[in-house]
Amino acid sequence: MKQTVLFVVAFGALVSAQRGAGPPQTPKAAAPIDLTGYWVSIVSEDWRYRMVTPAKGDYQGVPMTPEATKIADAWNPEADTAAGNQCRSYGAPAIMRVPGRVHITWDGDRAFKLEADAGTQTRNLRFDQPASKAEPSWQGDSLAEWEMQNAGRGAAAGAPRRGSLKVTTTNLKAGYLRKNGVPYSEDAKLTEYFDVVRERSGDELLVVTSVVDDPKYLRQPFMLSTQFKKQADAKGWDPTPCSSSW
Amino acid sequence: MFIKLVGPPATAVMVVAIGLAVAAPAMAQTELAGSWAARNHEDALERNGGPYAVDYAGLPLNDEARVRALSYSGDVLSVIEHQCGGWPPFYLAQGPFGMKIWNETDPVSGTTIAWKIGAWEDRAGTTIWMDGRPHPSKNAAHERGGFTTGEWQGTTLVAYTTHIKAGSIRRNGAPSSDVATMTTHFIRHGDLLTVLEIIEDPIYLTEPEIISKNFQLDANAVSPVGPPCVAGYEGVGEGKVPHYLPGTNPSIDELTKFYGIPREATLGGAETMYPEFRKKIKDRFVRPEKCTQNCGAPPPAPPVPPGNQGR
């Protein structure tokens, strides 16, 4: 009996060891999903806050603090432009909601480069902590990690790997969640989950679930989910400068 | 159901089986059971009070759908036969409420036979069959909640709903037909649950309508049923069917009046879903100086210090 138990444990360990053998993979080699390519926004939600510039004082849905409301009510796009702050509504907590296309590529084996044509913005999603802290910026510092889903027992041999990309962004320059001055502060933290799903037609969708935590300007975390459709090529890619008013 | 194993060959089979069990991870499924609070930060007006009567922006409606939508009067919900009709299952992402999810299991094996999503007063409950049963014949009865099967793709539950009664794809009468289908992805990250709906309707949509909603796991229990719907007289006389004849919908320019949005945007169509549409309307959009309608509730007043209550 003892021998049988030993054999069971040894056999299990052997199978496990074979699966986990080899040097650790780079994030690129370990990627459970393919995020690379051109993705176009599908604007089926929050249309009047995204496709046009909402009026001053229109901040429905955002759980703002009284201090944030004061800032939004004082929104002055001309002053932002004059001060060189026309990219305030293109920072990391807002950029994925701005209608446009994003182009995602690997930047080496340990980082993604995410370019947005709206506002001509670039996000660097790094799998390693930066060596030194940079100045706060519109896109901040983004730390990426894979959240792996195991195909599990009973899955066919060679079953596809699955998972999501989790991105945590801090060190942000204070900006706007919406074009009309709804603010986030320099202490805001953005957490995002990038998931890829397939439609029945075979088309791929990118779903970005985002949570903005900002105790200064938000009474509770601000949660959104934003959809993109994958394109075969760069069709429609149209880099445009930031605008404070459109 | 149980296999009796005896003798040395059986021991060997069991050894191999146990060895594999030790090596293999658990099935890649996610616990979905619980009470999930709605986080209606996007489309807040639509998901709470309801959309403007003529706001089809971002909906890939075809011409026939638009004509039907413009003939719709919200007063039809006061017709006694319609009062308890409820909304189609799309309303899971379009309505204001949280949801209660639980699973029904096989009493012997413990495997999940079905996931259940509780009903609300105006939405039927959902049963997501996980036991591999087929969808019924296309001629089978179409119910308000439809018929749904599901499968796990990794830790995402993907459900497919057919046999939905004709209704609305938005709560302002933008129509959905009885051949509409919905694929729903339940994507969990910690205590967040993103519900992605992909609605296809060859009768009224030129491409899928894709929407999502966020939920957060909540310690407060969400009821698995809404209050009962009790129909009664709401001012619409017998034999009347509220509607608008072509060209008479009085709400057609509400979004233009309140928000400066050109009429062609409010009437929807697939092009209104994509970034290029912004260029098309840029010169005709006039941003109002100040928001005057449905601008969002102001934050609550700070709490009154103890001792000052009632003064």
- 133-152 in chain B: CB under 8 A from chain A: none
Q: Does B273 touch chain A (CB under 8 A)?
A: yes
Measured distance CA(A99)–CA(A42) in Å, rounded: 8
Measured distance CA(B183)–CA(B291) in Å, rounded: 36
Q: Do B59 and A44 touch (CB under 8 A)?
A: yes
* Burial class of A140 by CB neighbour count within 10 A (0 to 12, 13 to 18, 19+): buried
Please say if the pLDDT value at position A3 is more than 80. Answer: no
- Please list every residue in chain B whose beta carbon sits closer than 8 Å to the beta carbon of residue A201: 208
What's the first-to-final CA gap in chain B, in angstroms? 72
Please say if the pLDDT value at position B149 is more than 60. Answer: yes
Q: Do B58 and A236 touch (CB under 8 A)?
A: no
Q: In this structure, which amino acid lies at residue B158? A: V
State the pLDDT at residue A80.
Answer: 98
Chain A's closest residue to B302, CA to CA, is: A66
Please say if the pLDDT value at position B91 is more than 50. Answer: yes
State the pLDDT at residue B223.
Answer: 94
Nearest CB to A54: which of B15, B25, B291?
A: B291
At residue A1 the predicted structure's pLDDT band, cuts being 50, 70 and 90, is very low
State the pLDDT at residue B27.
Answer: 53
Q: Which domains does chain B have, with CATH numbers?
A: 34-52+63-217 (2.40.128)
State the pLDDT at residue B121.
Answer: 86
Å from B293 to nearest chain A CA?
8
State the pLDDT at residue A8.
Answer: 45
Å from B209 to nearest chain A CA?
8
Handedness of CA A244, A172, A183, B257 (dihedral sign): positive
Query: Residues A73-78: contacts with CB within 8 Å, 24+ apart?
Result: A73/A181, A74/A181, A75/A180, A75/A181, A76/A181, A77/A53, A77/A244, A77/A245, A78/A244, A78/A245
Q: Does A11 touch chain B (CB under 8 A)?
A: yes
Chain position carrying tokens 């009284």: A66
- Please list every residue in chain A whose beta carbon sits closer than 8 Å to the beta carbon of residue B260: 52, 55
Choice among A126-135, B6-15, B91-100, B114-123 with the minimum mean pLDDT: B6-15
pLDDT, tens only, B201-246: 999 999 999 999 999 999 999 999 989 999 999 999 889 999 999 9
Please say if the pLDDT value at position B306 is more than 90. Answer: no
More confident residue, B41 or B19: B41
- 218-247 in chain B: CB under 8 A from chain A: none
Q: In degrees, to the nearest 5, what angle opens at C-alpha A147 toward C-alphas B114 and B160?
A: 30
State the pLDDT at residue A71.
Answer: 97
Nearest CB to B41: which of A16, A147, A223?
A: A223
State the pLDDT at residue B24.
Answer: 38
Look over chain B and give the mean of its residue pLDDT values, rounded to a whole number. 89
What stretches of chain A adopt beta strand conformation (E)? Answer: 37-41, 101-106, 111-116, 121-126, 141-149, 162-170, 175-178, 182-184, 189-198, 204-213, 222-231
At residue A156 the predicted structure's pLDDT band, cuts being 50, 70 and 90, is low
Among B101, B246, B89, B102, residue whose Cα is nearest residue B161: B89
Choice among A142-156, A182-196, B112-126, B198-212 with the minimum mean pLDDT: A142-156
Q: In this structure, which amino acid lies at residue A75? A: W
Q: In degrees, to the nearest 5, what angle opens at C-alpha A195 toward C-alphas A198 and A104?
A: 95
Strand partners, A169: A142, A190
Using an 8 Å Cβ cutoff, are B40 and B48 in contact? yes
Using an 8 Å Cβ cutoff, are B28 and B154 in contact? yes
Q: How many CB atoms lie within 10 A of CB B79?
A: 18
State the pLDDT at residue B292.
Answer: 95
Measured distance CA(B134)–CA(B143) in Å, rounded: 16
Å from A41 to nearest chain B CA?
6
Q: Do B278 and A99 touch (CB under 8 A)?
A: yes
Please say if the pLDDT value at position A112 is more than 70. Answer: yes
State the pLDDT at residue B25.
Answer: 38
Å from A135 to nearest chain B CA?
30
Q: Does A44 touch chain B (CB under 8 A)?
A: yes
Share above pLDDT 90 across residues of chain A, in percent, rounded to a whole number: 83
Q: Is B150 helix (H, G, I), strand (E, B) or coil?
A: strand
Share above pLDDT 70 across residues of chain A, in percent, rounded to a whole number: 87
User: Which of B31, B287, B290, B294 to mutate: most A Cβ within 10 Å?
Assistant: B287
Among B219, B228, B210, B215, residue whose Cα is nearest residue B188: B215
State the pLDDT at residue B305.
Answer: 52
Which is it for strands B147-153 and B126-129: parallel, antiparallel or unpaired? parallel
Chain position carrying tokens 């003529």: B54
The DSSP letter of residue A13 is: H
State the pLDDT at residue A12.
Answer: 44
CA distances from B272 to B63, B70, B261, B286 (A): 14, 17, 12, 17
Measured distance CA(A145)–CA(A182) in Å, rounded: 29
Share above pLDDT 70 across residues of chain B, in percent, rounded to a whole number: 86
Q: Does B42 touch chain A (CB under 8 A)?
A: yes
- Please list every residue in chain A whose beta carbon sits closer than 8 Å to the beta carbon of residue B189: 147, 164, 166, 193, 209
- Please list every residue in chain A whose beta carbon sits closer than 8 Å to the beta carbon of residue B211: 44-45, 227
Q: Does A205 touch chain B (CB under 8 A)?
A: yes
At residue A131 the predicted structure's pLDDT band, cuts being 50, 70 and 90, is confident
Nearest CB to B19: which of A8, A59, A147?
A: A8
Measured distance CA(A160)–CA(A158) in Å, rounded: 6
Q: Does B294 touch chain A (CB under 8 A)?
A: yes
* φ/ψ bin of A198: left (φ > 0), alpha (ψ from -120 to 50), beta (otherwise): beta
State whether ipTM is beyond 0.85. Answer: yes
Q: In degrees, to the nearest 5, what angle opens at C-alpha B32 toward C-alphas B26 and B33?
A: 110
Choice among A45-54, B27-36, B174-183 with the minimum mean pLDDT: B27-36
Q: Does A215 touch chain B (CB under 8 A)?
A: no
* Mean pLDDT, range B262-272, rounded to an integer: 98
Look over chain A and give the mean of its residue pLDDT values, rounded to a whole number. 91
SS3 of B195-211: the string is: EEEEEECCCCECCCEEE
> Of all helices (H) and strands (E), which one includes residue B266?
helix B263-266
State the pLDDT at residue B303.
Answer: 58
Å from A12 to nearest chain B CA?
4
Å from A129 to nearest chain B CA?
22
Please say if the pLDDT value at position A44 is more than 50. Answer: yes
pTM of the model: 0.89
- Please list every residue in chain B whose beta carbon sits closer than 8 Å to the beta carbon of residue A236: 275-276
State the pLDDT at residue B298.
Answer: 64
- What is the count of residue pairs from A and B with beta carbons less than 8 Å apart? 228
* Mean pLDDT, range B49-76, rounded to an integer: 97
State the pLDDT at residue A83.
Answer: 97
State the pLDDT at residue B9.
Answer: 45
